[in-house]
Amino acid sequence: MKRYLLEAWWKILFAVSALFAFSAFGYAQGTVTDRLLVLVNRDVITESDVTWALALDPELPTLDLGAENRRAMLERLIDQRLLLQEAEKLPRNEPTEEEITEHISKELIAAFGGNEKFLERMKKVGLEQAMLREIVRRRLEILKYVDFRFRSFIFIKPEEIEQYYRDVEIAQAANKGLGAPVMNEKLRAEIESKLINVRVNSELDRFFDETRAQAQITRLAEIQ
């Protein structure tokens, strides 16, 4: 089962907020004591991890902390935590401070429609700058690991690009009443990127299935 699209990874990986267990956090409705939800090998996932992940999702214009959303995000965090544990085994995988700053300014703030909206979401869950930078550091560490472990070994053949162009690009244009798009280098690169993402997602699904089977995942509390 496809757990997520690679294009939406910033949304899921931005939830890397673990190892702040046994803490408390405040938001507009009051102060909530953290609750341990799942133990993934050596790492704990807490209630605040789930809350931060949902709060930092720009596709939720209204912060919805309902049980269904929190359960779905918890499963994503379990997969993400397993990936992070593998990423931390690699030497020299640490993002630089410059990379962290650039990612915050060019990716995250833009995704929330500007600095004001982004800061508003951070404030709602008591997410301060130091904690944000730690979250982003872990996210970049995972992305580097994915590039090294999966993306760098994927090769898309020219005939695969041509087939996608015929089967998808031309068909989509025809559905819009348009003629066939010109196959230039820009379109070829876009198609190649799409096919690579599909392949990476498939490899990640296999990775998560295998890793979950071997991991010690202990459910400590239910989300009500």
pLDDT tens for each residue of 188-197: 999 999 999 9
Q: Does residue 25 lie in a domain region?
A: yes
Domain with 40 in it: 6-153+208-219
Residue 171: inside a domain, yes or no?
Answer: no
Tell me if 183 is assigned to some domain.
Answer: no
47, 37 in Cβ contact below 8 A?
A: yes
pLDDT for res 33: 61
Residue 16 lies in a domain: yes
61 inside domain: yes
Tell whether the model's pLDDT for residue 39 goes beyond 50. yes
pLDDT at 152 over 80: yes
Q: In CATH, what number is assigned to the domain containing residue 74?
A: 1.10.4030
Q: How confident is the model at residue 2 (pLDDT cuts 50, 70, 90)?
A: very low
Confidence band for 17, pLDDT divided at 50, 70 and 90 = very low
Task: List, in order, residues 6 or more apart from 52 with CB less than 8 Å away.
Answer: 15, 17, 125, 127, 135
Is the pLDDT at 71 greater than 70, yes or no? yes
Kindly tell me if the per-residue pLDDT of 133 is higher than 60.
yes
Tell me the average pLDDT across 168-190. Answer: 93
How high is the pLDDT of residue 70?
92
Residue 198 has pLDDT above 80, yes or no: yes
pLDDT band at 63 (very low <50, low <70, confident <90, very high): confident
Q: Output the CA torsion sign for 124, 130, 15, 136.
A: positive
Higher-confidence position of 11 and 102? 102
Higher pLDDT, 174 or 57: 174
Mean pLDDT across 18-43: 59
Is residue 199, in this structure, part of any structural domain at all? no
> Is the confidence at residue 8, as pLDDT, over 70?
no
Q: Does residue 54 have a pLDDT over 90?
A: no
pTM for this model (two decimals) = 0.72
Per the domain annotation, does 29 fall within a domain?
yes
Q: Does the structure show a pLDDT above 90 at 128? A: no
Q: How many domains does the chain have?
A: 1
Residue 10 lies in a domain: yes
- pLDDT of 25 above 70: no
